[in-house]
Amino acid sequence: MRVGVPKEIKASEHRVGLVPASVREVVAHGHEVFVETGAGAGIGRLDADYEAAGATILPDAGEVFARADMIVKVKEPQASERAALREGQLLFTYLHLAPDPDQARELIASGATAIAYETVTSPSGGLPLLRPMSEVAGRMSIQAGAYYLEYAHGGLGVLLGGVPGVDPAKVVILGGGTVGTHAAHIAIGMGADVCVLDASNDALRRLWTQFGRTLDTVFSTKDSIERHVAEADLVIGGVLIPGAAAPKLVSRQMIATMKPGSVVVDVAIDQGGCFETSRPTTHDDPVYKVDEVTHYCVANMPGAVPRTSAEALNNATLPFVLALADKGWRVASAEDPHLAAGLNVHQGRLTHAAVHEALTEMPYMPLQEALAA
């Protein structure tokens, strides 16, 4: 198979779909890899590094899309990239279609087959291709929150961990999954007063076992969210429903009850965000205020640490890239139902039930029908 790796063009996105070590593995399996010149610059890798791994360097994204059977990316294809996709071509990347009808509509029109990292599952019920980036984003969310709590950056002027004789900041984390766990780890390490809310008793028990009494765990209800958000200095939104739009757990009215200068970080913004007041921002212009509450809603947070993020992502995606290249998407999906769960678009229709539930006006084909077509 001919595998293409274009340079990422989303604002402030410096990761790359395949690092040189991954390219070497794909080439060793007998496939060709085409890499756009400069694609690895954000992770400090030169075209020469890719050539040494066996890739062919092409001068622009247009040639990569034109020559490749499968495109491997990081972020959802931007408008110019969607226009370059063709019927029968395979796209393997993050998509986050539920809150993005324009992207869904253009992927459907392209005739390409699109497999989304974020809906590929694991035997344990996890999301193995989302997990590494959720780990990074969860940790970064506390760094970002601590920065914007500083008075010079529009915040309360509170040190996250406090000092002897002065209370630490209260950090409230919505969701006890991967994002929440890693956010809690960093916040506790910095000395904050940390509370995690989740609607799963199993998740709360796991967190209790992991962190003990250094962490408050609270069952998530409308009442408990209202109460803890109003008391918080920093709120992290880390909820996820695979493939679907994130639930709006924090209303505009709740935001209005928060202290002026407090901060919310919406890690769920790729799926539409879990704060009613959230809208996507970029690393170049990351924050805005609503009711004097700072909102950090960067849609590609791990892009700020591309060396760490690209390596971590490739560790997770490489086995699936090899399976798709070796067997083709249909055989690979038929043999692996967890990879099949990643199928979002095929033959001009949506194929993921949760995505279709969010975009009901768009044509839909059940997954099993798509696999058998």
Query: Per the residue annotation, which of 96, 182, 338, 356 is the catalytic one?
Result: 96
Give the pair of three-digit tokens for residue 207. Answer: 């967190």
Q: Evaluate the CA torsion angle 254, 257, 260, 261 in order and state its sign.
A: negative
Residue 185 among the catalytic residues: no
Separation of alpha carbons 350 and 16, rounded Å: 26
Q: How far is CA 34 from the centre of its chain?
A: 25
Residue 96 among the catalytic residues: yes
Separation of alpha carbons 132 and 152, rounded Å: 32
Maximum alpha-carbon separation in the chain: 67
Beta-bridge partners for 237: 174, 266
Number of H helices, E strands in the chain: 15, 15
Query: Per the residue annotation, which of 270, 336, 338, 346 is the catalytic one?
Result: 270
Is the separation of the CB atoms in 118 and 129 below 8 Å?
yes
Is the separation of the CB atoms in 177 and 203 below 8 Å?
yes
Give the phi and the psi of residue 368 in degrees, each rounded to 5. Answer: -60, -35
Backbone region of residue 314 per phi and psi (left: phi > 0; alpha: psi in -120 to 50; beta: other values): alpha
Backbone region of residue 92 per phi and psi (left: phi > 0; alpha: psi in -120 to 50; beta: other values): beta
Indicate which residues carry an active-site annotation: 96, 270
